[in-house]
């Protein structure tokens, strides 16, 4: 499924900010990440890529 467990903010913040306008990117990272993943599926792939890279290949189970 597309279930995304909580991830460290530093892992999610950078890739999420890259796809958001500045006024949105300044919001708390967990909130931005949740809202973005729910409202913009196109962001899931880059976020998953970054998370997998940060975690040394560990996947959070996001199916893209």
3-class DSSP state of 59: coil
Tens-digit pLDDT profile for residues 1-42: 566 666 555 555 666 556 655 555 455 666 666 665 555 566
DSSP string, 2-32: -------HHHHHHHHHTTS-HHHHTS-HHHH
Instruction: Give the start-to-end residue ranges of the domains of the chain.
Output: 9-54
8 A C-beta contact, residue 25 and residue 16: yes
- How far is 31 from 40, CA to CA, in rounded Å? 14
CA distances from 59 to 22, 38, 54 (A): 28, 18, 10
pTM over 0.75: no
């Amino acid at each position: 499924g597309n279930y995304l467990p909580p991830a460290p903010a530093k892992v999610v913040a950078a890739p999420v900010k890259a796809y958001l306008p500045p006024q949105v990117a300044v919001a708390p990272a967990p909130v931005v990440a949740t809202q973005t993943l729910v409202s913009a599926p196109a962001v899931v792939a880059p976020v998953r890529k970054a998370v997998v890279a940060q975690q040394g290949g560990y996947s959070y189970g996001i199916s893209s």
